[in-house]
Amino acid sequence: MGNLRSVAKALEHVAPHVPVEVTGDPERVRAAQRVVFPGQGAMPDCMRELDQRRLRPAVLEAARSKPFLGLCIGLQMLFEESEEGPARGLGLLGGSVRRFPEARMFARDGQRLKVPHMGWNQVYRSGSHPLWAGIPDGSRFYFVHSYYVEAHDSALGAAASRYGLEFTCAVARDNLFAVQFHPEKSAGAGLALLSNFVHWNP
């Protein structure tokens, strides 16, 4: 389900003394103090994989009870449904996952915007949050995705980005934080966010 290795390596880099484990075992997820929930590829495939490994209850439990960081598809899976396929998401957050609409994918100068949205875009936060500590507002993070989340409750939004339209690129609620971009591939800004997560005590 995507590049778990890169996420683990980035976490080891920012927290050399914290044991990091890549696992598909529900019991290990239950035992963890913090959970990072990545995912790459197609959201319906990731949901199927999650259920094949019987991870759904453990992931839901973690997302409700301990520091939890969703990355990319890991953000999308928290929602109810996706235009990418018929599989339902975890439904932890109200809203859906939409594809960038071709009709609106034009820059201000009229040039066509490519999908996937691939590269470094600016992230503007909606308010303060411990995970943004030390990261200037408007910093660039690395994105690669064709779908974005649309939350029913706008208060969930922790940051937004602009690509043809403004879209939510980070959500936060209690012990849960999830981002559309890849902090593990976002150089200094991304490593700072991961370091903040490792030290976060919500």
Catalytic residues: 72, 182, 184
Residue 114's identity, in one-letter code, is K
Interface characters, 36-65, with another protein (x: CB under 8 A) = ----xxx-----------------------
Of 27-35, 56-64, 86-94, 116-124, the segment contacting another protein by CB under 8 A is: 116-124
| Site residue total, another protein (CB under 8 A) | 41
| Binder among 37, 148, 163, 177 for another protein (CB under 8 A) | 163
SS3 at position 195: helix
Chain positions 127 to 146 lying near another protein, rule: CB under 8 A, are: 138, 140, 142-146
| Binder among 34, 98, 117, 173 for another protein (CB under 8 A) | 117
End-to-end CA distance of the chain: 28
Residue 191's identity, in one-letter code, is L
Residues that bind another protein (CB under 8 A): 2-3, 5-6, 9-10, 12-13, 40-42, 102, 107, 111-122, 138, 140, 142-146, 162-163, 182, 184-187, 190-191
